[in-house]
């Protein structure tokens, strides 16, 4: 039985729950799970506030309105809040992975870690948008739909992650 106070959930149970979440997504708003497009929705809306001409750019315009776009934003916010709530309820604590990795690279202060984390996050998001989806979009939704492009994208993401981990281990 799953409990919110467990230190960790079974990855099988969590995977099944995430997979089942796709059913209402497809039935109610005709979209798949994913996260990277939510950043485009938020950034596009902010850009349109500052420069109304940004709303005329096709790529931004398709992310400005509609339940599909805001569903993705709600999903990302829910994941972040859920992770925070889970860590607080379970009492689980560990040093953040950014601290562990950055120490290995000789980076010790938050002033050094923050720009590195921002640049790394930007590169990841840029890559996800070039691939037309992130690991959750391609890995969960694309593979569930048997999309060949998603199989290729996920294989490339895993290969890149493994190569990066091996490279960082040598550093």
**How do residues 64-87 score in pLDDT, each as one tens digit?**
877 778 888 988 899 889 888 888
Alpha-carbon separation of residue 140 from 53, 54, 56, 98, 152 (angstroms): 35, 31, 31, 25, 13
Is residue 113 assigned to a domain?
no
Structure confidence by residue, pLDDT tens digits, 105-147: 666 676 777 787 888 888 888 888 888 778 778 888 888 888 8
Is residue 2 assigned to a domain?
yes
Is residue 81 assigned to a domain?
yes
Q: For residue 159, what pLDDT is reported?
A: 94
Query: How many distinct structural domains can be found in the chain?
Result: 1
Is residue 124 assigned to a domain?
no
Give backbone dihedrals phi and psi of 58, rounded to 5 degrees, phi first.
-55, -45
Q: For residue 103, what pLDDT is reported?
A: 63
Which structural domain range is residue 5 located in? 1-93
146 secondary structure, DSSP code = T
Cβ burial, residue 90 (10 Å; 0-12/13-18/19+): middle
Is residue 37 assigned to a domain?
yes
User: Locate tokens 């420069």: which residue?
Assistant: 51
**What pTM was computed for the model?**
0.71
Is residue 27 assigned to a domain?
yes
Is residue 101 assigned to a domain?
no
């Amino acid at each position: 039985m799953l409990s919110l106070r467990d230190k960790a959930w079974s990855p099988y149970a969590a995977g099944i729950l995430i997979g089942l979440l796709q059913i209402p997504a497809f039935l109610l708003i005709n979209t798949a799970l994913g996260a990277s497009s939510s950043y485009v929705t938020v950034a596009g809306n902010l850009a349109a506030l500052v420069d109304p001409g940004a709303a005329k750019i096709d790529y931004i315009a398709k992310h400005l309105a509609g339940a599909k776009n805001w569903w993705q934003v709600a999903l990302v916010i829910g994941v972040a809040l859920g992770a925070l709530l889970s860590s607080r309820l379970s009492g689980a604590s560990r040093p953040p992975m950014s601290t562990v990795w950055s120490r290995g690279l000789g980076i010790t202060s938050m002033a050094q870690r923050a720009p590195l984390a921002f640049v790394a996050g930007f590169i990841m998001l840029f890559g996800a948008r070039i691939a037309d989806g992130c690991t959750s979009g391609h890995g969960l939704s694309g593979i569930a739909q048997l999309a060949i492009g998603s199989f290729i994208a996920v294989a490339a993401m895993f290969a890149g992650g493994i190569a990066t981990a091996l490279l960082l281990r040598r550093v």
